């Protein structure tokens, strides 16, 4: 199995594709730009959904579902929104055997259809806040496919909240950014920077876009979630007003926030190695695989021992016992390394005699012999340790690959070798930002939430006093 995976050092992007295909996470669909999420990839998405959904509910959100088809006129109501999304829209013009009176857009995101409904549902401050999330698919036309990272159709969640004041809407926007950061770091074991996008990178129709950005192993950035403060833009476009406590009329304030199946791409690229997928235990659909090692004469005894072990572990761990006798243990070891199962437990006749098991960590390859009586808590502890050490390893990597530059030449040199995040002064002008992008292909990933001191710091392009220390990187 493993020889099918191109080493990272040889060709990083081929390595990524090899992992996705060999670990059977996804496949190319008949329609260009689309992907099929295979059962193993979908199981991973289900773990991500459960984790995020739990965090959304803890913060007071409820789920609902809005239609896939949006009247074209809705999309056109918010000027920046339509301008931003137009090039990516797919439009249904013909259905039921006839040309439609009004074309219907396949949702690229649901602000417009949701705010058309909020107009019906919101009349008074008593109806606020409205905290709704939906899990669904969206479609944004893509010419190039990169499984999980860039596909025409993808799965995601989109939260759409309505508030009585600007401050409450912005507080919600930041709360959800915090939820994404927590999820990335505590579930995905991926450290992220949190900050605000420059105007050129913000969501079409937002006042401000906040984001979390992660560093992949090729030192490129990947945006792992966005949270938008929408001001009153969509309320004005859809005429959503409410009666305030002082009996005046005001437009409703809004936030929206989303994370998608891209997170699977981030997980793969943050942790995996040349043998295959490496998954943080918290999100792994299977945490422990038991591989019994036997010959014909020891088969029954070893399998019985393995089944007893599995049954004792099941209450607290996600365990799979591979009792198939057609493939060799060596083949299975390689296969489970490709699949990224965090712990492999080997049991042979000699282990059985000693009443022990051999546990092998996927990330380090480290072997531990554990007494059977103690197996459950010891395996749990190993998984917790692996979760923590994947995060620490990724954090160390990011820290080692974060640099500072004073000018364009310095930035360009660092981006070429070794690559990474580069902090540099920025005057705030779109022209300077565009020049960086044109000359280095790097963008401002974010302006950190915790603003750094810019005293004496100049813009890396024009030399004017810096307004912010921006984080530049090449990105997915
Ligand atoms: Zn400048």
- Enumerate residues with CB within 5 Å of ligand 1 (an ion): 427, 429, 432, 459, 461-462
How far does residue 397's CA lie from ligand 1's centre (Å)? Answer: 30
The whole-angstrom separation of Cα 290 and Cα 383 is 15
Q: How far apart are CA 311 and CA 299, in angstroms?
A: 18
C-alpha 290/C-alpha 371 separation (Å) is: 15
Block residue for tokens 């806040």: 129
CB neighbour burial string for 306-341, b if at least 16 within 10 angstroms, e if fewer: beebbeebeeebbbebbeeeeeeeeebbbbbbbbbb
**Residue 471, C-beta contacts closer than 8 angstroms, at least 6 positions apart:** 193, 195, 213, 421, 422, 423, 444, 445, 446, 447, 448
CA of 305 to the centre of ligand 1 (A): 69
Q: What pLDDT is recorded for position 145?
A: 87
164-178 pLDDT, tens digit each? 999 999 999 999 999
**pLDDT for the residue numbered 94:** 97
pLDDT of residue 1: 45
Question: Which residues make beta-bridge pairs with 471?
Answer: 423, 446
Distance 446 CA to ligand 1 centre (A): 16
Residue 84 C-alpha to ligand 1 middle, in angstroms?
25
The pLDDT, as a whole number, for residue 173 is 98
State the pLDDT at residue 149. 95
Cα-to-centroid distance, 402 and ligand 1 (Å): 21
Residue 236 pLDDT:
97
- Dihedral-angle region of residue 349 (phi above 0 means left; psi in -120 to 50 means alpha; beta otherwise): alpha
- Here the tokens at position 394 are 């990724």
DSSP secondary structure letter of residue 453? P
Distance, CA 428 to ligand 1 centroid (Å)? 6
Q: Which residues of the chain have pLDDT under 70?
A: 1-3
Report pLDDT for 3. Answer: 59
The values of phi and psi at residue 124, to 5°, are: -130, 165
Query: Ligand 1 centroid to 437 CA: how many Å?
Result: 13
Residue labelled with tokens 């992992």: 19
410 C-alpha to center of ligand 1: Å?
Answer: 15
Between strands 443-448 and 468-473, the pairing is antiparallel
pLDDT of residue 2: 47
Nearest 5°: the CA angle 207, 209, 211 is 170
Give the chain's end-to-end CA distance (angstroms, integer). Answer: 28
pLDDT digits (tens, 9 = 90+) for 78-99: 888 888 899 999 999 999 999 9
């Amino acid at each position: 199995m493993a020889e099918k995976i191109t080493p990272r050092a040889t060709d990083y992007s081929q390595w990524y594709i090899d992992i996705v295909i060999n670990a059977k996470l996804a496949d190319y669909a008949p329609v260009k730009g689309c992907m099929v999420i295979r059962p193993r990839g979908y199981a991973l998405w289900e773990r991500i959904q459960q984790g995020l959904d739990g965090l959304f509910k803890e913060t007071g959100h409820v789920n609902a579902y809005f239609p896939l088809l949006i009247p074209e006129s809705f999309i056109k109501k918010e000027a920046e929104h339509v301008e931003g999304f137009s090039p990516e829209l797919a439009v249904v013009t013909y259905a039921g055997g006839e040309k439609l009176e009004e074309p219907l857009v396949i949702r690229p995101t649901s602000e417009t259809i949701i705010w058309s409904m909020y107009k019906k549902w919101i009349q008074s401050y008593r109806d606020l806040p409205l905290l709704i999330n939906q899990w669904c698919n969206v479609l944004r036309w893509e010419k190039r496919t990169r499984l999980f990272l860039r596909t025409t159709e993808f799965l995601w969640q989109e939260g759409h909240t309505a508030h009585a004041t600007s401050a409450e809407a912005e507080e919600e926007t930041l709360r959800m950014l915090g939820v994404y950061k927590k999820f990335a770091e505590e579930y995905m074991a991926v450290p992220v920077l949190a900050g605000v996008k420059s105007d050129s990178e913000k969501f079409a129709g937002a006042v401000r876009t906040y984001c979390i950005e992660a560093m992949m192993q090729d030192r490129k950035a990947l945006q792992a979630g966005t949270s938008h403060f929408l001001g009153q833009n969509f309320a004005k476009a859809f005429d959503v007003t409410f009666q305030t406590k002082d009996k005046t009329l005001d437009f409703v304030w809004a936030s929206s926030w989303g994370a998608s199946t891209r997170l699977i791409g981030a997980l793969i690229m943050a942790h995996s190695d040349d043998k295959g997928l490496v998954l943080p235990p918290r999100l792994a659909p299977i945490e422990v695989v038991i591989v019994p090692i036997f010959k014909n004469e020891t088969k029954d005894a070893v399998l019985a021992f393995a089944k007893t072990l599995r049954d004792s572990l099941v209450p607290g761990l996600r365990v799979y016992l591979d009792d198939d006798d057609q493939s060799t243990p060596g083949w299975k070891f390689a296969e489970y390394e490709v699949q990224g199962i965090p712990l492999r437990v080997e049991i042979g006749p000699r282990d059985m005699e000693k009443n022990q098991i051999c546990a092998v960590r996927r990330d380090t390859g480290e072997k531990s012999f554990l007494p059977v009586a103690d197996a459950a808590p010891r395996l749990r502890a190993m998984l917790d340790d692996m979760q923590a050490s994947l995060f620490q390893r990724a954090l160390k990597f990011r820290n080692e690959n974060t640099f500072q530059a004073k000018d364009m030449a310095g930035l360009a040199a660092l981006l070429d070798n070794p690559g990474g995040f580069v902090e540099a002064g920025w005057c705030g002008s779109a022209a300077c930002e565009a020049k960086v992008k044109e000359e280095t292909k790097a963008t401002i990933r974010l302006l950190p939430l915790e603003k750094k001191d810019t005293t004496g710091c100049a813009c890396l392009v024009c030399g004017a006093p810096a307004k912010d220390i921006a984080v530049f990187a090449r990105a997915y």
